[in-house]
Structure 1
């Protein structure tokens, strides 16, 4: 799937590069990532200033369950809808966007129906529940120059 739900475990939700640097440095880093990504959402390819108002900087994580390490492996530019889909539970909880709009975006980007979305969401939630039981060590070493 081009656009997948990525639920971060509750214990590590606020452990990220953004929480370790000033808002000014985060904006610098985010702008660098947007420039690298040619000012477009890397998933749905909508462009900043054309199809979308702004882009978000999304942290990509790798989970090694055997060693209980959650490692930051990259940053990418996402439009608001793609970013909120990655964190659909948090976005819904905050009331930032109606869930039906996110489901429609997911189905359109992935060329799937609502049933396939429901299956994917269920699997993502099951994985999230499992990961919440692990005592993760968070590795931000790929971005230590920013911290």
Structure 2
């Protein structure tokens, strides 16, 4: 698949050939990536130019609105939804979706705590899902329990929906290289120059 185009276009029908547009639904939930998988994502594995095009197409097909809460707050982000198969220890990219900064901070709640946005993320989770604080805390606690268990595993990364679309990727790092990648990326995040 040749990626073309920037700017506002009608990409409402655009999708990666094997993308599951229903995976994970359009609900807001804390989706903690196992620490053994941190920062090995599409954005870090494709060229900057390809990432910008993919991101723009995902945002365009969502009609420039968050697919979770409907917000049009800019900048909208391109979020990856992953399936974690505990038996095969495979992390598989299933879907790319357009989400607003508040939903992205909530989804990546662990990162939000590190960057000082934890309380705001909790409030957004409550508001969007119409939960009380007890429901919210229970959800977050369950997400961290799952994260802790999955972080003990070494995961294989499957981004075949990207490669099967003909998009070139950098070498997929083994789990032994991911710790170094995570430290380097956290430094960039702290400099606030990371683009989603």
TM-score of the superposition, structure 1-length normalised?
Answer: 0.91
> Can you list the C-alpha shifts for 1:116-135, whole angstroms capped at 9, x where unaligned?
11000000000000001111
Q: Indicate if the aligned counterparts of 2:93 and 2:158 stay in contact, CA closer than 8 A.
A: yes
**Aligned counterpart, 2:138:** 119
**Aligned counterpart, 1:90:** 111
- In the TM superposition, 1:91-106 aligns within 5 A as 91-95=112-116, 97=117, 99-106=118-125
Q: Distance in 2 between matches of 1:139 and 1:53?
A: 30
> Can you list the C-alpha shifts for 1:46-104, whole angstroms capped at 9, x where unaligned?
12xxxx12201101000111111110001000000100111111122133x2x222111
- In the TM superposition, 1:1-147 aligns within 5 A as 2-47=27-72, 52-95=73-116, 97=117, 99-144=118-163, 145-146=166-167, 147=169
Q: Secondary structure at the match of 2:143?
A: helix
Q: Kindly report the root-mean-square deviation, in angstroms, between the aligned alpha carbons of the 2 structures.
A: 1.3
Q: Secondary structure at the match of 1:138?
A: strand
Query: Greater helix percent: which structure?
Result: 1
> Can you list the C-alpha shifts for 1:31-50, whole angstroms capped at 9, x where unaligned?
00011111110000112xxx
Aligned residues: 141
Q: Distance in 2 between matches of 1:141 and 1:53?
A: 29
Q: Secondary structure at the match of 1:66?
A: coil
Q: Runs of 5+ in structure 2 lacking a partner?
A: 1-25, 170-196
Q: Distance in 1 between matches of 2:27 and 2:46?
A: 30
Question: Considering only CA atoms, is the larger Rg found in Structure 1 or Structure 2?
Answer: 2
Q: Distance in 2 between matches of 1:16 and 1:93?
A: 19
Q: Distance in 1 between matches of 2:97 and 2:27?
A: 14
Deviation at 1:19, TM superposition (A): 0.7
TM-score of the superposition, structure 2-length normalised?
Answer: 0.69
Q: Secondary structure at the match of 1:84?
A: helix
Deviation at 1:138, TM superposition (A): 0.7
Q: Runs of 5+ in structure 1 lacking a partner?
A: none
